[in-house]
Structure 1
Amino acid sequence: MACSFTVWSGAYLLPKRVEHSDSILPAAFQAHHFFMEQPNWPDRILLLLRQGRAAQAEQELHRVLHADPNDAHAHALMALALLEQHRNEEALLHAQTSVGLAPEHDFAYYLLSLTQQRLQNTEAAREAIEQALSLDPTDPNYHHTLGILRFTQGQWGAALRAAEMGLAYDPEHVDCLGLRARCLARLGRSEDAASSLSQALHYDPDDAGTHADAGWVALETGKHKEALEHFRNALRLSPTSEYARSGLVEALKARYWLYRAFLRFTVWSENLNGMARRVLFIGLYILVRFVPLLLPLYLPLVFMSWFADPLFNGLLLLNPYGRHALSDEQRRQALGFVVVLVAATAAFTVSSLAHQAWLGAIGLGLLAAIFPLMVTLRPRVPKRTQRWALAATVALILLGLLGGGLQLVAPDSQAHTGTMGLLFIIWLLFIWTTAMS
């Protein structure tokens, strides 16, 4: 399984998205009836995919499609092979082609749902998997996928119902058991969650996804040491598991008491619906305005909401074990945070000591740009959000530079005042739109 994060006042929250490991092939997947009428080549392709040889499977499928470009089965498996290689846009084209050629086959819709999910098109993914379920309501993999999407949206009860529906058709389906445990933990039923995980491990003690599920459940219930062991076991069984790797990173950061406290708060806040979280955010802001004594508690919360991830990922860069656990995207985000923060601090320091006000304007632009920059560098951010954040980052840096230049040549001009005012407006607009989205 893999995970992603949502935003509360710009914050990273605990994983809400639960995809099964780095492999699209579910643990319980067998040769689907979609392929039963075909020659032996689908079995060969599935074997290659199970062996992690997606590139070789792709080559075989190119030969099949060259002979018959309208083979819906080949297009479906091509989507599967491309998803295994994280070539999601190409996979989407083949999944859509397969659906167009064989709209009566449920497996094509299942692959389309997985592809849309990878592309973070949640609504399209839900529609596709519901279509697959309408064609075959007995496949537990389909119920598991629907449960994943419900879990992504914070609908713990609906996700639990989907997992249990899958278990009604296959009581030993470890993916559904793992998802059930995640949902039960979020609903405060930790004993039932532990029982579900025990069942899954009994049925398949070497399933990396189940060990990672156990790690996430432990982490969300404040047991970071236990979580570390589970994630290490998962990575021992599946060294390339993104779901386990991201969990290991969170567990390593949870060794710091400040991050651990913030983690507990975010788990609690995720049990609120979207509107309640917005009311909480606005309510805290208003409360601090009337009770200034709460400011020392409020400011660290706001800071952690925006910068907990890059800050503590930066600390993991100093740890040899943590450094290897971080993904390339996490390392880039941490380094970007450190570089811009150091540059802004240096500009403010020199401005203060050397009485160079123009450097202060540049420092202000850099400091403001850290907020959208962290969103730009955040892993798995929707493209639209990323583009908006990148535009805001560039605008704030340029306005800071322009403000510094105007401070040098015309410090008291309306142009300088207007530039710095525009900088503040763009920053405030970005903060509020991100926090309320």
Structure 2
Amino acid sequence: MRPTHRRQLRRVLTAAVATALVGATVALVATPAEAAARITVRNDRGGNQADSTYQTKLTLSGTGFQVVRGGFGGVYVMFGWVKDANSGSWKPSKGGHTGDDYRYIPDAENADANKGYLKFVAFPGSSTAADANAVLSASGGFSVDLTIPGPVFTSVDRDGTAHEVDCRKVTCGVITIGAHGVINGANETFTPVRFGNVYGDSAPPSSTPDPSPNADNDSTTGGSTTGGAAPGPGATDGSAPPSSPVVPTKRAGKPTLTVDRDTATPGHALAFTSSGLTPGEQVLAILDDGIVAIGPMVAGVSGEVAGLIQLPVDLAAGTHELRLTGAASGTAVTELFPVRSAETSTATPASDTTTDGGWGAPQAFLAFAALVFAGALVAVILRLLRRRRAPRKPQTTVPAAGVAP
């Protein structure tokens, strides 16, 4: 084979291999990187503050959240305080716990009983989507309204202890975490919200002043990083606090609490009913040492309360305790109940699930096909080179008839 031909063949081989490798690389990285989860806050006047005197409804727009199609749970969106927004040490994925590292205003986790203080955004196709306030879009976006009762709220620690949070002294804002006990660091955010004079001298529609209006509009704000409690007095129906608190009447009898044990499965909503509480008082429901809490619920005219509390998906099988506590009377009633283990785990770790914006089966197939093609092409060209380099057999000249060799 001539040197010129060999050089040309080598150039063809190099170009073919490079083309195949580029194709494989494109298949691997063609999908754009996921944007970080982010929350945008807007009030009904177009700003991003909450009012220091009146209840404020904030419209929250989320973008860049991780989507797990058909995954259990989704995202909780709530208002509260975090211990260290800049380092992110408050996050559940980094070991953060309710009461110690972050506090928030609790609320019912299903859309039917929700008062607006906490919102549940489900993954598309999730078994929990029916209870959600919204569903994540394919690109990881959502929009919900969140009610802020004022700059002061009461949270509930893991041990059931009530704790007051004053957002005029600490930085409060919108918190998002994985829902239903599923920890997901990609969807943990904290977006600070300042308090100020949003409505001026005129009250917003259907609102009345807080019985303890703030003397000033001071607030401390911090930088945005990636993220129960009870609302202000009388704000249990989603409206602004009334001018005077409701005075509970006498307790209706001996308190009782009944748990629907058929619903006592990890990841499911546990149903419960109670009677004999003080009519009209606020009641908190707390599971074990505060791993889940909802409220406040308002006892009916006969001292009755009914509710649903979401059991964490990783809740251990065995005996657990549900405790109801009246905020005004201090009445507490408990019920022990067994939790059976789930037959199959419905929670899929986000790292093991194909999500929107990730490397799925089509990209993997294209990359594999490109590499196979490159290997086959190299083998064919090397085979041709070996054939060209093989020595030629000497030609035998046959003498003409009658001519001596």
Which interval holds the TM-score relative to the shorter structure? under 0.3
Name the structure, 1 or 2, with higher relative contact order (CA <8 Å, separation 6+): 2
Q: Structure 1 or 2: larger strand share?
A: 2
Q: Structure 1 or 2: larger helix share?
A: 1
Larger radius of gyration: 2
